[in-house]
Amino acid sequence: MKRLLASFKKAAILSITAITMSTSAFAVSIHEGGDAAKGEQLFKANCASCHKITDEVLAAPGLKGIADRWKGKDELLVKWVQNPNAAIATGDAYVKGLIAQYAANFGVMPGQAVTKEDINHIMTYVASGASAGGGAGAQAASADQCITLEDLEKLEPEDLEEGQDIYLVNQDKGGSSAFIWIVIIALILLVIGISGANISRSLKNAQAESESEEDHRSYLQMAKDWMWKNKKFVSVMGLFLFCYFFVVGYGTLMDIGVYEGYNPEQPIWFSHAAHVCKNEIDCQYCHSSAAKSKHAGIPSVNVCMNCHKGIKNGAVTKETEIAKIYEAIGFDPKTGQYRTDVEKKPIVWNKVHNLPDHVYFNHSQHVTVGKIDCRQCHGPVDLYTTGRQATTAQINAMIKDPNYKGITSGVNGQPVASTLIELTKPTLTMGWCIECHNKSKVDLASNDYYVEMHERYKSTEAGRRALRGLLQENINEEREASSWGKMPDTLAPSLSVKGLGGWECGKCHY
Amino acid sequence: MKRPLLFTLSVFAATMGIVSCGVDPNSPGVEYMPDMYRSPAVEAYVDYGSSKHLDWTQSQKDEAGVKPILARIPAAGSVAYMGQDAIFGMPYALPNDTSGYSRAAKEIHSPLLSSKENIEKGIVLFNRFCQHCHGKEGHGDGKISQNGHIAGIPDYATKLKDLEEGKIYHTLQYGKGLMGSHASQMSQKERWQVIEYVKCLQKGITSPEFDSKGMLKMPVASADADSTKKI
């Protein structure tokens, strides 16, 4: 009986092996036997924009486990990849399920120009489960070149590379107050010392006199008497205090309304350096209304999602900060779909640049008409993390720094120093505005806005008269500036914004 | 003599108090006329929802339904005033689904000429809105791709060589795959201007040249059939 059973078992095992062997010999599955390296290349070129090889849904289902899901349907899989509509037409239940689940959100996959062998390579690569690779290495390579102001602040002065320290000048208002503290403490110690000496001397004097006599004077009278007694000391100290308060008070008053270097916390730790310097995104991709409206605009979350639908893991803060975008718009990074069951919450950013009510400032006038580089007013934004109000020192540093890399294209792709103007007054003050309006030159001939305006002026007699006056005025100005009485070499007027009325009160004030 | 000392010390304490103001990074500094900076008139990007009720707790705000006034989506059906460009102000007719995408190929055509003006504006807009992913010459090799954030961005000159302009417009309107909708960033005219340049890239022209009339010089001469209708 035992032997019979054993032989039966043997036979069963043999037959099973035979069956498996025969199937593998007849048809090798499309998910194995290909060249994984070739598959990786093909995958990146054809599939990676929507699929991941993990189970994460990007803009289409993740491919992990595809060998099990499409088991025994190799022909259909090839058809599906090459011509999805033909695969749908076969009426396969699994394909129908795919369409029902994903087509509404992501659409139907377009047919891919790959051969059956290519698909074999790709599926081998997917089955091997090798990480997408390449990304991390490339990221690290470019990361080093993009340093932020916060990084610079953390460095010791001797570790700073040549020329980097100029970005840190005057950017922290707290820096100067340390010196004030030292002065105050020194003064207190001095006063305590002198008073102590005075007290001990007075005590000695008092001991010599009668001790029974009580002091009935008021505190004020006592202070007056003391001051009268120590006339010299009090007058020197008084003079010193007066000068000190005058200087400190003047400094404080001059600081009112000056918000240079203001860098408030934001609900999301957004890194301008990562976006602008590392990934070379133009300022106006996100701040797109700067070209068209009064406000530069903080991008709405849908603009963030244009990239972050796919980029779920940042280089610096990993997932934590990007998750806040998803929470705001109600996006589920696991399924790659927007949720309908949660309420969208707007991100409440803190306003950094604030002008008083009576000031009119228009971004489009400066960006579109004036063709002014964003950095002229906002400084080296590619060194910032969260938005901050640039200091004049930083803007000037950028102009002086020969190694400054600059944001993507700049204005017409010119180097920074040639397009920016060096200024002296603190940013976002009126002095700063009118200083720039005085120094900046307007290129009338190559600017559509002024060409059109010029044509309009030329068409009327009054306009022509105004133009002649303007020309004469500029010639006079230039003649005065160059040398007395001598005609300038060129008659081409170099108009400043001031010459076009940039100093008129009504231009910038309501 | 101890009391005068106290007086001197208190003067210095007062000085310290004055000087120590204002190193909080979340405070912009002393404002000259606070009501000029925090005005009751509505200004952009000021959170009136909370700043008008500074002393309220969150639960009080929730109860009263106080919400921050921030960027909102325009009311459904609103049409932008476009002035002379009125034809660019019409809403997009096709639905955001696969049938709309395939219909766009036949039904949506560029209202713009392939002129110097349009293409040069398109280049500026392309560098602003597209190049960080699609690359400066449209090969899908922008910095975001090079840094490994988004892979497999197709090349205009090869894979998307024959993509119809209507489908490109449809994609800009609604997004496709990983690419999001760019309708909030670009006006309809700007979208068509970008497409005029993308059409050059599809033909492999990275630095377009123009003839004496300001029209794009084609590598192979092909007359624009309905150029009379375009602007």
Count contacts between A and B (CB, < 8 Å). Answer: 213
Q: Tell me if residue A217 falls in helix, strand or coil.
A: coil
pLDDT on residue A81: 85
Range from A169-173, A297-301, A416-420, A482-486 that averages highest in pLDDT: A297-301
User: pLDDT over 70 for what percent of chain B?
Assistant: 73
User: pLDDT over 70 for what percent of chain A?
Assistant: 78
With the C-alpha atoms ordered B24, B29, B30, B36, is the resulting torsion angle positive or negative?
negative
pLDDT band at B47 (very low <50, low <70, confident <90, very high): low
Q: Which residue has the tokens 């003599």?
A: B1
Asked if A279's CB is within 8 angstroms of B144's CB, the reply is yes
- Say if residue B119's pLDDT is above 90: yes
Residue of B nearest to A200 (CA): B1
Asked if B18's CB is within 8 angstroms of A49's CB, the reply is no
CA distance B147 to A228: 76
Residues A143-151 have a mean pLDDT of 70
Q: Which of A192, A220, A279, A408 is best to mutate for the B interface (most B CBs within 10 A)?
A: A279
More confident call, A374 vs A175 = A374
pLDDT band at B173 (very low <50, low <70, confident <90, very high): very high
List of chain A residues whose C-beta atoms are within 8 Å of the C-beta of residue B7 = 223
Range from A386-395, B29-38, B214-223 that averages highest in pLDDT: A386-395
pLDDT tens track for B48-79:
555 555 566 767 777 777 666 666 677 887 77
Residues A162-173 have a mean pLDDT of 60
pLDDT on residue B6: 66
Asked if A256's CB is within 8 angstroms of B31's CB, the reply is yes
The kind and range of the H/E element at A219 are helix A219-229
Is residue A499 within 8 A of residue A350, CB to CB? The reply is no
Asked if A248's CB is within 8 angstroms of B18's CB, the reply is yes
Nearest to B1 among A177, A198, A306 (CB): A198
Q: How far B65 CA sits from the closest chain A CA (Å)?
A: 14
In chain A, list all ranges with CATH 1.10.760.10. Answer: 26-134
Would an 8 Å CB–CB cutoff place B127 in contact with chain A? Answer: yes
Residues A114-138 have a mean pLDDT of 69
Nearest to B68 among A46, A177, A346 (CB): A346
Asked if A142's CB is within 8 angstroms of B149's CB, the reply is no
pLDDT tens track for A401-410:
766 765 544 4
Asked if B177's CB is within 8 angstroms of A279's CB, the reply is no
List of chain B residues whose C-beta atoms are within 8 Å of the C-beta of residue A349 = 45
List of chain B residues whose C-beta atoms are within 8 Å of the C-beta of residue A104 = 97
pLDDT on residue A408: 43
List of chain A residues whose C-beta atoms are within 8 Å of the C-beta of residue B178 = 49-50, 58-59, 309-310
List of chain A residues whose C-beta atoms are within 8 Å of the C-beta of residue B12 = 184, 187-188, 191
CA distance A432 to A428: 6
Contacts of A145 (CB under 8 A, 6+ apart): A277, A405
pLDDT tens track for A454-494:
888 889 999 888 888 877 877 777 666 665 555 545 545 56
* A290-294, A311-315, B173-177, B227-231: the lowest-pLDDT one: B227-231
More confident call, A347 vs A163 = A347
Nearest to A142 among B1, B98, B147 (CB): B147
Q: Tell me if residue A441 falls in helix, strand or coil.
A: strand
The pTM assigned to this predicted structure is 0.75
CA distance A460 to A8: 112
- Say if residue A156's pLDDT is above 80: no
Residues B79-92 have a mean pLDDT of 79
Residues A224-252 have a mean pLDDT of 89
DSSP A155: S
* A3-12, A349-358, A497-506: the lowest-pLDDT one: A3-12
pLDDT band at B14 (very low <50, low <70, confident <90, very high): low
pLDDT on residue B12: 64
Range from A11-20, A46-55, B137-146 that averages highest in pLDDT: B137-146
What is this model's ipTM? 0.81
A231: which 2 tokens? Answer: 């006339």
Asked if B28's CB is within 8 angstroms of A306's CB, the reply is no
Nearest to A49 among B8, B153, B180 (CB): B153
pLDDT band at A174 (very low <50, low <70, confident <90, very high): very low
pLDDT on residue A24: 43
Q: Count the neighbouring beta carbons within 10 Å of the beta carbon of residue A21.
A: 10
C-alpha distances out from residue A409 to A96, A196, B4, B131, B149, Å: 48, 67, 67, 11, 21
- Say if residue A498's pLDDT is above 60: yes
Letter string b/e over residues A348-362, b meaning 16 or more CB atoms within 10 A of that residue's CB: ebbebbbebbeeeee
pLDDT band at A286 (very low <50, low <70, confident <90, very high): very high
Would an 8 Å CB–CB cutoff place B36 in contact with chain A? Answer: yes
Contacts of A409 (CB under 8 A, 6+ apart): A282, B127
pLDDT on residue A236: 92
Q: CATH number for the A26-134 domain, one of 3.40.50.1240, 3.40.30.10, 1.10.760.10, 3.40.50.450? A: 1.10.760.10
| SS (HEC) of B174-198 | HCECCECCCCCCCCHHHHHHHHHHH
Is residue A419 within 8 A of residue A396, CB to CB? The reply is no
pLDDT band at A62 (very low <50, low <70, confident <90, very high): confident
pLDDT band at A310 (very low <50, low <70, confident <90, very high): confident
- Say if residue A23's pLDDT is above 50: no
CA distance B192 to B165: 9
Is residue A378 within 8 A of residue A386, CB to CB? The reply is no
User: pLDDT over 90 for what percent of chain A?
Assistant: 10
* A343-352, B9-18, B26-35, B40-49: the lowest-pLDDT one: B9-18
Mean of per-residue pLDDT scores for chain A:
78
User: Can you say how many angstroms the Cα of residue B222 is from the centroid of all Cα atoms in its chain?
Assistant: 34
- Say if residue A374's pLDDT is above 70: yes
DSSP states of A237-274? HHHHHHHHHHHHHHHHHHHTT--TT-----SS---HII
- Say if residue B7's pLDDT is above 60: yes
Would an 8 Å CB–CB cutoff place B3 in contact with chain A? Answer: yes
